[in-house]
């Protein structure tokens, strides 16, 4: 019985600290979302390393251009356009384009910046330790899914203290897979026409177009 009483006392003593860390985490997340909205159209260069149950599956790099909900994502294997409603995904190996209307969950798996708003529903969050990431002083924010049916189980976000810019994102799935994303370059205030986020068949004349809608 004594050990249970001790556990309850520990929980009661740490509860105010936990609540404070929750409030601090929300403040950081809110500031990060606002900073991204104020940045206008942006371009981010990134690298990503994938793991499955602790084993590395390899690394990849690419760029993403964003304007509101719209994005253009380029890697060596794929190019994806999203105009806010329709997505076009070009597969380099097969020279084909798949057209779809993605769900919010699917967009989260494609666009890492969609994770900046995920905390507003279905996730609990807490501020982790302050540390350095890429020689920058950052906040560590840990988000945990409250819905056990959610494919994403845990997200760790690293945000610079001075500009509230994301520099690293770790995404963990319930199946044991994990992706570690590092932002290697970041430019804001770009002038990007909406046509940037729409597939142009003229640029890929030989591609087979497959409509999956």
Q: What percent of the chain has pLDDT over 90?
A: 17
Q: DSSP code of 206?
A: T
**pLDDT band, residue 6 (cuts 50/70/90):** very low
**Residue among 21, 20, 17 nearest 139 (CA):** 21
User: What pTM, to 2 d.p., does this model score?
Assistant: 0.75
Place of tokens 């910046």: 113
User: The domain 23-211 belongs to what CATH superfamily?
Assistant: Lipoprotein localisation LolA/LolB/LppX (2.50.20.10)
Which runs of consecutive H residues, i.e. helices, occur in the chain?
A: 2-38, 104-110
- In the structure, what pLDDT confidence band is assigned to residue 96 with cuts at 50, 70 and 90? very high
> For the chain, which residues make up each domain, given as ranges?
23-211
Q: Are strands 177-190 and 70-75 parallel, antiparallel or unpaired?
A: unpaired
The mean pLDDT value of the chain amounts to 80
2-6, 10-14, 55-59, 208-212 — most confident range? 208-212
Is the model more confident about 102 or about 16? 102
DSSP structure class, residue 54:
T
pLDDT at 211 over 80: yes
Relative to beta strand 208-211, strand 96-100 is: parallel
């Amino acid at each position: 019985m004594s050990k249970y009483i001790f556990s309850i006392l520990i929980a009661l003593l740490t509860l105010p600290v936990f609540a404070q860390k929750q409030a601090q985490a929300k403040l950081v997340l809110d500031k990060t979302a606002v900073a991204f909205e104020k940045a206008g159209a942006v371009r981010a260069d990134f690298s990503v390393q994938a793991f499955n149950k602790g084993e590395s599956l390899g690394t990849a790099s690419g760029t993403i251009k964003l304007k509101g909900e719209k994005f253009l994502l380029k890697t060596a294997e794929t190019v994806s356009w999203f105009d806010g409603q329709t997505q076009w995904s070009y597969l380099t190996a097969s020279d084909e384009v798949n057209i779809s209307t993605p769900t919010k969950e699917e967009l989260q798996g494609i666009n890492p910046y969609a994770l900046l708003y995920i905390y507003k529903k279905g996730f609990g969050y807490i501020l982790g330790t302050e540390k350095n990431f890429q020689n920058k002083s950052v906040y560590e924010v840990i988000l945990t899914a409250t819905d056990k049916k959610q494919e994403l189980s845990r997200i760790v976000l690293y945000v610079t203290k001075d500009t509230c810019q994301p520099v690293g994102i770790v995404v963990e799935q319930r199946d044991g897979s994990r992706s570690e994303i590092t932002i290697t370059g970041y430019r804001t205030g770009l002038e990007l026409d909406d046509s940037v986020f729409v597939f142009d068949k003229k640029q890929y004349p030989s591609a087979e177009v497959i409509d999956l809608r």
